[in-house]
């Protein structure tokens, strides 16, 4: 008798898994949900599974990956795969997949909303008005979109969408990407810069759209902040590790950075007394940029469909490693 086909679901916080169950059942497989996050719990929860759908928090370390023989693929609900040891997965013949195209519009639009909230100083204006202050002077200076340069760091799907939205709102959009040649962006409304130094020196607003990698972690640090235009606004909807948070706090307190809007932090949620959470120049949102009813449904269906491809021996759409 052949072994049953099982897709394990690790750490998902969705109330129901009806979308995944529908997709997986059509392939003759069953779904197993578990919530454990320790190495032994992950190994036990994945036992006998051919594929795993994984949320962001369970850590698939080398120890865990060595203990889940039979798993052929881990599909991340989302884009980032920094919770999975890619080298170890490759060593054990496990494909690591993600779903990079489920929420492009949502994250880009959230980024633009944060840009406008900063440049129009909505966070301060709302707090002042609730406190009984009616003082336009506290909100100055504000500048027209057309007089401002928006610097977009990372020109993948989300970065390019953000650039298009910002250009439509009148911003002068300058961008940088270490992997894409300027010729690949000829049809986009972006002035592509050859270096980050150029972008840092020009941007009135800087918005980050990069994965957390060895090269990108701490990209915004004391040195790079010193090279940015005084009074810059910083937006991050990608990964909290891109920013040295202590350096950002100091730059905000010194007035070099006029404000920051962050949907992601190095540690989520922030603990009590986190210096960014209590800073009046900072607008925080709870890793919500991707979240709409429609995006969640797309994410779950696309992730389940990726797992089914693996069950059928078909090539996945988005493999992050080269197992």
Query: Six-digit token pair at 73?
Result: 């693929």
Judge whether 268 counts as a catalytic residue: yes
- The stretches in the chain having pLDDT less than 70 are 1-2, 323
Domains recognised in the chain with CATH numbers: 6-102+293-311 (3.40.50.720), 104-284 (3.40.50.720)
Q: Three-state SS for 148?
A: coil
Contacts of 165-173 spanning 24+ positions with Cβ under 8 A: 165/108, 165/109, 165/112, 166/112, 166/115, 169/112, 169/116, 169/145, 170/144, 170/145, 170/146, 171/145, 171/146, 171/205, 172/146, 172/148, 173/149
Give the CB-side neighbour count of residue 276, counting CA atoms within 13 A. Answer: 29
The one catalytic residue in 76, 193, 239, 300 is 239
- Residue 323's pLDDT is 56
Computed over every residue of the chain, the mean pLDDT equals 95
Cα separation, 249 vs 277, in Å, equals: 10
Query: In the prediction, which pLDDT does 179 show?
Result: 87
Of 163, 160, 144, 94, the residue nearest 320 (C-alpha): 94
Tokens 């603990």 belong to 271
Torsion of CA 291, 294, 295, 299, to 10 degrees: 130
Q: Pick the catalytic residue: 33, 47, 274, 287?
A: 287
Q: Verify whether residue 274 is a known catalytic residue.
A: no
Q: Catalytic: 241?
A: no
Structure confidence at residue 1 (pLDDT): 41
The span from the CA of 49 to the CA of 46, in Å, is 5
Sign of CA dihedral 189, 191, 193, 197: negative
Q: What is the pLDDT of residue 321?
A: 95
End-to-end CA distance of the chain: 29
Residue 186 has a pLDDT of 84
Report yes or no: 266 and 248 within 8 Å, Cβ to Cβ: no
Angle at which helices 157-168 and 104-119 cross, to 10°: 50
What does the block give as tokens for 208? 């980050």
Calculate ∠ Cα 60-86-56, nearest 5°.
45
């Amino acid at each position: 008798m052949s072994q049953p086909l099982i897709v394990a679901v690790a750490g998902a916080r969705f109330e129901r898994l009806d979308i995944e169950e529908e997709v997986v059942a059509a392939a003759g497989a069953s779904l197993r949900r578990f919530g454990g996050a320790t190495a032994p719990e992950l190994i036990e929860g994945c036992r006998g599974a051919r594929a795993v759908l994984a949320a962001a928090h369970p850590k698939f370390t080398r120890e865990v990956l060595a203990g889940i023989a039979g798993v052929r693929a881990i599909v991340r609900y989302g884009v980032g795969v920094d919770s999975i040891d890619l080298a170890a997965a490759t060593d054990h013949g496990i494909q690591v997949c993600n779903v990079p195209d489920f929420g492009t519009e949502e994250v880009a639009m959230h980024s633009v909303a944060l840009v406008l909230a900063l440049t129009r100083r909505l966070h301060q204006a709302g707090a002042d008005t609730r406190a009984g202050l009616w003082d336009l002077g506290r909100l100055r200076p504000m500048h027209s979109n057309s007089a401002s340069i928006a610097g977009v760091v990372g020109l993948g799907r989300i970065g390019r969408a953000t650039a298009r939205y910002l250009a439509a709102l009148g911003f002068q959009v300058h961008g940088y990407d270490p992997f894409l040649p300027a010729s690949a962006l000829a049809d986009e409304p972006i002035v592509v810069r050859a270096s980050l130094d150029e972008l840092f020196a020009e941007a009135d607003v800087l918005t980050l759209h990069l994965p957390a990698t060895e090269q990108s972690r701490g990209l915004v640090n004391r040195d790079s902040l010193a090279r940015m235009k005084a009074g810059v606004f910083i937006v991050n909807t990608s990964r909290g590790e891109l920013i040295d948070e202590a350096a950002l706090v100091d730059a905000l307190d010194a007035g070099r950075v006029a404000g920051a809007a962050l949907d992601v932090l190095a540690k989520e949620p922030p603990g009590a007394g986190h210096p960014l959470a209590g800073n009046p120049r900072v607008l925080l949102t709870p890793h919500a940029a991707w979240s709409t009813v429609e995006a969640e449904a797309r994410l779950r269906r696309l992730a389940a469909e990726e797992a089914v491809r693996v069950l059928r021996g078909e090539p996945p759409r988005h493999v992050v490693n080269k197992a």
